[in-house]
Each structure stands twice: as C-alpha cells, then as structure tokens.
C-alpha cells in the first residue's frame, strides 16, 4: 500500500504528457495524462472528489504500461496509484467496466472453483506429471482461445514449453487444479477474487522448488504478489539458463525477428536481456527503435481499456516492428492476443503491415534440435 507521501510525489512537471502512449494521442484535458491521474487519485484518497462516471472512465483508460514512471524525474508511482484507486472505486460499489463484457474475468473466477478439474492438459504434446518440485505454471492461457474468434496457438505454446523442459531431461509438474494467477482481477480492482486465486494457487504450489511461468503477467504476479518459497522464473529466463548450461540443443534459423517487451516482464520486472539472448541464438534478431525500457506497450492491460486509441498504439507498434523484421515475438499471451486481434481485423489494411506475431515459447520450441 502506498503512503500519503507517495500520493504526493508528482511535482506536476508535465514530462509524462509527451511520454504516455495514450495521452499523446488524446489532446485536451489533463485528466488523460499520468499527471492528471495522479492528481485525481490524490483527490479521491483525500475525499475531496467523489467517484463519478467521468472518474471511472479516467481510471479505466490506462493499460498501466509504466512508461510514465520509467521517465518520471520525481519517482511518482503512477501505476500503483491507479491500481489502488481502481480497488477503492470497486469497493465504493462502482467497479471498473471490463472489456468483452467481463468474459475473461468470469473465466478467471471459474478457475478458482476447487470442484472443477479442467481437462485442457489432454491437448499437451510432451511429458508432464501431476506433482513435482519443478512446476510449469500456465495461468489463464488455456482458457483464452475458446472466448476469442481467432486463434493464438495456445496448444503450441503450452506444448512448446513442455518440449523445452523435456529436451533438458525434465518432466515438469502441471497440477490439474492450478488457477489463473489473478493478475487481471488485481489490476481491475477485484481484490476478493485475486485473494481467492492466490490462496488456491499458493496451496497447490507450497512444495514447489522452481516455478516456470509462461507469461509475463503471471511471472510478475507470482513473484511480486504471492509469498511462495520457490524460485520463480519466466520462461525466457529458464530457456536462457538451459541454453547457457548446454542442456538445450537448438538450430539457428534465418527468420528476421524482433522482440516486443511486455510491460510486466520489462519495465515492471526489469528483464530485458533473457529473451534477446535466446532469440539471437536461434534467429536473425534485430531490436525495434523503441525497445527495453522505452518499448511502447500493446495498449491494453487487464482487459479494461481496449478502444480506438489503444488500437492506434498497436498499429504504431507493428509498423515499427515491420521496419526491422518479418516476425514480431512477444512473451506474454495477452500481448499476443491483442496484436493478433489487430492483425485479423478486416479493416487492418489501413496502415497495418503484414507481419507475423508469435509467442516466444512457440518460436523457441520450433528451433529445438529434432523438433
């Protein structure tokens, strides 16, 4: 929880106005800027403002990409303020409106039900087991595709990760009752759902020694919001470590690829190099002009703010990727979903280049020797 002092860190310099990918597109009032959100969050906290439809709109329209914070000279914790304010708004009885009519949050809630044993693991190609000290945490990935009207290749991603384990001689545990990590519940203000998911997963994971997470959001959530005794690695870190220790045999291809840094992996968790080291070893890798801490986000966070403005953020990003590569790789199934959504829209021809979007684990698994 932030303190009163934290809420007053913003010194109103305005630097973030030209940094925030959304406020640079929404000319007009300051409420669409990080600075404006910080001021409104302070006003709400002090009880000087009431929750109105306009306030709810302001706090829903941010993907919490953290670009403002990464460039803020005062160290204002804008995203944490937004996260806490969303929870306060929800507690006041006016939850943040959810995209897709809340379908993805509903699925997340479903995974908290202990009586259900999902059967998606039947689709996995590769060897795994129910219990063990080395765990693969897939999060909500297996549940996304049935709600989408396009494919993101979930089967290839989960199978790809299992194949990476298997080539290193490891049969990972994938406990059948693992739930969604709760990232979206937490960042949309639904703390009761988040705590339910955290409690369920923490019990299942209590004996784990190493947890490998296939997505950026799950990695950040397990590492920063849970209190687990296990070591937690993102799949890019795990793959990099296997490569370095000589346990993974890969075949280098000639594909021209670039990497889209997911905000949760990059700016939030500081991991920029692991995916690049792996991709450089298996393909013709080149960075986009805006990379690492300056990477622009996919425009959506926690399924709360997809709109024309965030779509324009995605269009800019794929245009940038197409300058340097034929394939844009990301390491978060949500980024993958939002970019794939853009690429399959009928109106995409208007300025959207034909570039392939792929998941990191899927791409890596296709470069394993013998794959």
CA torsion sign for 308, 310, 316, 319 is negative
Residue selected from 20, 211, 342, 364 as contacting ligand SF4 according to rule CB under 6 A: 20
Looking at 13-21, 153-161, 186-194, 339-347, which segment touches ligand SF4 (CB under 6 A)? Answer: 13-21
Q: Name the residue nearer to ligand SF4 (CB basis): 28 or 93.
A: 28
Q: Kindly state whether residue 330 participates in binding ligand SF4, applying the rule CB under 6 A.
A: no
Q: Kindly state whether residue 262 participates in binding ligand SF4, applying the rule CB under 6 A.
A: no
Q: Kindly state whether residue 2 participates in binding ligand SF4, applying the rule CB under 6 A.
A: no
Nearest distance in Å: CB 19, ligand SF4: 6
**Count of alpha carbons within 13 angstroms of residue 49, beta-carbon side:** 18
Residue selected from 2, 6, 7, 16 as contacting ligand SF4 according to rule CB under 6 A: 16
* Residue of 114, 153, 161 whose CA lies nearest to 137: 161
**Count of alpha carbons within 13 angstroms of residue 279, beta-carbon side:** 30
Looking at 15-23, 87-95, 105-113, 338-346, which segment touches ligand SF4 (CB under 6 A)? Answer: 15-23
Instruction: Return the bridge partners of 285, or none.
Output: 257
Total interface residues for ligand SF4 by CB under 6 A: 27
- Phi, psi for 14 (deg, rounded to 5): 90, 5
Nearest distance in Å: CB 87, ligand SF4: 16
Q: Name the residue nearer to ligand SF4 (CB basis): 65 or 331.
A: 65
Nearest distance in Å: CB 316, ligand SF4: 14
Site for ligand SF4 in 30-89 (CB under 6 A): 34-35, 37-38, 62-68, 72, 74, 76, 78-79
Q: What is d(CA 140, CA 143) in angstroms, rounded to the nearest whole number?
A: 5
* Residue of 128, 168, 163 whose CA lies nearest to 371: 163
Q: Name the residue nearer to ligand SF4 (CB basis): 105 or 264.
A: 264
Residue selected from 12, 206, 252, 256 as contacting ligand SF4 according to rule CB under 6 A: 12
* Residue of 112, 139, 131 whose CA lies nearest to 232: 139
CA torsion sign for 139, 142, 147, 152 is positive
Q: What is d(CA 280, CA 287) in angstroms, rounded to the nearest whole number?
A: 10
Q: Kindly state whether residue 22 participates in binding ligand SF4, applying the rule CB under 6 A.
A: yes
Q: Name the residue nearer to ligand SF4 (CB basis): 61 or 167.
A: 61
Provide the 8-state DSSP code for 96.
Answer: P
* Residue of 93, 84, 102 whose CA lies nearest to 37: 84
Contacts of 128 by beta carbon, 8 Å cutoff, 6+ apart: 121, 136, 162, 165, 171, 172, 173, 174
Q: Name the residue nearer to ligand SF4 (CB basis): 60 or 167.
A: 60
Q: Name the residue nearer to ligand SF4 (CB basis): 111 or 291.
A: 291
Nearest distance in Å: CB 67, ligand SF4: 4
Residues that bind ligand SF4 (CB under 6 A): 10-16, 20-23, 34-35, 37-38, 62-68, 72, 74, 76, 78-79
């Amino acid at each position: 929880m932030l303190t009163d002092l934290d809420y007053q860190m913003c010194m109103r310099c305005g630097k973030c106005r030209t940094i925030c990918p959304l406020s640079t597109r929404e000319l007009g009032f300051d409420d669409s800027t990080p600075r404006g959100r910080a001021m409104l969050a302070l006003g709400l906290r002090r009880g000087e403002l009431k929750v109105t439809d306009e306030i709810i709109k302001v706090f829903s329209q941010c993907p919490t990409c953290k670009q403002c914070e990464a460039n803020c000279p005062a160290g204002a914790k804008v995203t944490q303020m937004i996260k806490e304010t969303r929870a306060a708004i929800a507690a006041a009885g006016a939850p943040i409106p959810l995209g897709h009519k809340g379908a993805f949050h509903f699925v997340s809630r479903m995974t908290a039900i202990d009586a259900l044993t999902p059967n998606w693991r039947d689709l996995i190609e590769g060897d795994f087991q129910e219990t063990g000290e080395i765990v693969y945490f897939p999060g909500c990935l297996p549940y996304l595709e049935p709600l989408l009207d396009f494919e993101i290749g979930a089967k290839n991603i989960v199978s790809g990760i299992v194949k990476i384990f298997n080539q290193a001689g490891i049969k990972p545990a994938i406990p059948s009752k693992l739930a969604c990590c709760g990232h979206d519940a937490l960042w949309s203000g639904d703390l009761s759902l988040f705590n339910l998911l955290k409690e369920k997963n923490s019990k299942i994971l209590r004996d784990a020694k190493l947890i490998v997470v296939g997505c950026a959001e799950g990695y950040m959530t397990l590492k920063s919001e849970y209190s687990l005794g296990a070591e937690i690695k993102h799949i890019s870190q795990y793959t990099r470590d296997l490569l370095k220790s000589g346990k993974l045999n890969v075949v280098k291809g000639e594909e021209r690829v670039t990497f889209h840094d997911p905000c949760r992996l990059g700016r939030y968790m500081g991991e920029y190099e692991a995916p690049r080291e792996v991709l450089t070893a298996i393909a013709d890798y080149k960075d986009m002009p805006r990379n690492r801490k300056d990477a622009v986000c996919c425009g959506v966070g926690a399924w709360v703010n997809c709109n024309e403005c965030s779509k324009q953020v995605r269009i800019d990003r794929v245009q940038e990727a197409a300058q340097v590569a034929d394939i844009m790789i990301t390491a978060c199934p949500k980024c993958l979903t939002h970019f794939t959504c853009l690429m399959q829209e009928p109106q995409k021809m208007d300025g959207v280049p034909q570039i392939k979007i792929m998941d990191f684990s899927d791409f890596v698994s296709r470069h394993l020797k013998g794959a």
